[in-house]
A and B are shown apart, each in its own frame.
Chain A
Amino acid sequence: MTGQLNPAEAPIIEVLNLSHAFTARGHTVPVFQDISMSIRRGEFLSVLGPSGCGKSTLLQIIAGLLPSMSGRVLFEGQQVTGPPPEMVYLFQQYNKSLLPWRSVLGNVSFAMEGKTWTRSQRAERGMEYLRIVGLDDFADHYPWQLSGGMQQRVAIARALAAEPKVLLMDEPFSAVDALTRLELQTLVLKIWAQSGLTVVLVTHDVDEAVFMADRVAMLSRRPAVMDRIVETGLPRPRDAVVTRETPRFLELRHQLLDTLLHRDPVGADA
């Protein structure tokens, strides 16, 4: 696959002046307004914001799963009107996104069906992706026989099997326990580093946003606008413990939390 970060290259995704509103009982409630950003090819971008700021909605519009009300999304220069190939959305609710009547391997194969692969090629490649997420021993299990963290790893393997260029992750670790979350974060970073994928991660967890990303795009409270986009500048590979102890990490965490909690920023902007 392609993909070291190259700032000179054209952005893989461009979000142009997106606005969105919900309509409830005849009232129109704006969710976010005039959001614009460029997503670089091969980067890891976190979208951070308080709950209710519409960051999941934003991600679904980028994915082509929701139509945009105003504004546009360009994927490799083409306007997104439906889910583009080479862009896969990873759902927060992995337990509702996996097919319960299929084995773990069957779920991974799902992403490859309807393409040119034969059945045995699908099984072979499916096992490779399961090996990447460390679940090759559980190919014949059913999703309900696995823990939450393992189910989300199946969903990740399935997303990879579609061979996307962009992985859109909607709070993918919010439903697992804290320790499993750290393990999954490290796993996703490892996969990202080896694959050259572009990843957009939506989260409300400042710690997670900073730890994972090259850049953090921060949305304000509803009606949300783009508050700022900061380069984390943290060295890679990241370490679940050590990275979180570096001065830069703590500085960023401090700034972003301050903003989220609506206090006056203490440090200067990055």
Chain B
Amino acid sequence: MSEAAQHSATLGPAAAASASRGMRPAMISKVAGWLLVLALLVAWEASARLGLVKSQSWPPFTGVLRAVWDGMLTGELLGVLLSTMLRMLKGFLIGSAIGVVLGLLIATVPLLRRFLSIVIEAVRPLPIPAIVPPLILFLGIDDGLKVTVVALAVTFPVLINTIGGVDNIDGTLLQTARTFRKTRLETMTSIILPSALPTILAGMRISLGLAFVTTIVAEMIAGSAGVGYFIMVTQYGMRPDQMYAAVICLAALGYGLNWAFVSIERRLVGWDQRQDD
């Protein structure tokens, strides 16, 4: 019993000490960071208001904020943001599912690995936007196209990380499953999947960013709906305040998505000590 008591006792003060040591400089640089953002926004506002930049396409920051507000009230901006998000999530989920399932299969069936590895290595380096125009020929410019493109972009990082995660499982853990006579399916769900989960989620986090970018790009190339299309339309229509409003919303959304994903990740794989290092 005393072994654990000692353990937690040594953990406590050490953690507290490092926190109090690290707190001050961290706080200062964080405040300074926000001040920089504020300064840049003030510079933006001033440059437009004082006529430092004279251009139809350079509205003041407050004008952009106003456009965000109006866009939300009328529902126009809100609508395009939501449709983009929905499209992106569909592609993200489909691509992640394919990546995980295919990855688990490839990692555990040697024959499949040898069979598929060349195809995967050949397709993987393709810049996804490059295959949008050819895909339009088959899928048109509707949702089907965009979801497919996003799913394709998402699949590879998830696939590669799933294979890597399974490859790195310690042999002792697999032998443990054997000595307790677990079936292949039980070993898959109770040992292989949880062991590989931190690596899989890391791949999904990379893919989430890719999905976001890919959705917007696909909407710009094959435009009929969504924020990507909205940005193109407002640019052509000389409505810069609305264009910047969409861009600002995208920045906030991207930040929010990553934050949400990281919180889910912490919850799921908090046991993984490599996360803390």
Contact = CB atoms under 8 A, between A and B. Distances in A.
Interface stretch (A24-32, A139-147, A220-228): A139-147
Contacts of A76: none
Interface residues of A, number: 32
A145 B4 contact: yes
Contacts of B191: 99
A192 to B, nearest CB: 19
Interface stretch (A5-13, A67-75, A82-90): A82-90
B204 to A, nearest CB: 17
Interface residues on B, range: 20 to 34
Contacts of A85: 181
Contacts of A147: 3-4, 7
Contact of B8 (A83, A137, A145, A162): A145
A138 interface: yes
Nearest to B194: A101
Interface string B45-74: 000000000000000000000000000000
Interface in B159-182: 170, 172-173, 175-176, 178-182
Contacts of A114: 181-183, 186
Contacts of A149: 3
A61 B197 CA distance: 31
Nearest to A134: B1
Interface in B246-274: 269, 271-273
A126 B233 CA distance: 64
B190 interface: yes
A37 interface: no
A88 B272 contact: no
A195 interface: no
Contact of B271 (A91, A100, A110, A113): A100
A173 B3 CA distance: 16
Contact of B181 (A83, A91, A150, A180): A83
A229 interface: no
A63 interface: yes
Contact of B7 (A88, A101, A145): A145
Interface in B49-102: none
Contact of A97 (B3, B172, B271): B172
Contacts of A83: 178-179, 181
Contacts of B271: 100-101, 142, 144
A100 B7 contact: no
Interface string A242-255: 00000000000000
Contacts of B179: 63, 65, 83, 87-89
B194 A99 contact: yes
A97 B173 contact: yes
A262 to B, nearest CB: 32
Interface in B18-60: none
B180 A65 contact: no
A162 B180 contact: yes
Interface of A: 63, 65, 82-83, 85, 87-89, 91, 93, 96-97, 99-101, 110-111, 113-114, 134, 137-138, 141-142, 144-147, 149-150, 162, 180
Given A96-B173, A101-B194, 15 more contacts: A85-B181, A88-B179, A88-B180, A96-B172, A97-B176, A99-B191, A101-B269, A110-B190, A114-B183, A137-B1, A144-B273, A145-B4, A145-B8, A146-B7, A150-B3
20 contacts: A65-B175, A65-B179, A83-B178, A83-B181, A91-B172, A91-B176, A93-B172, A97-B172, A97-B175, A99-B173, A99-B194, A100-B273, A101-B272, A114-B182, A114-B183, A114-B186, A134-B1, A138-B4, A146-B4, A147-B7
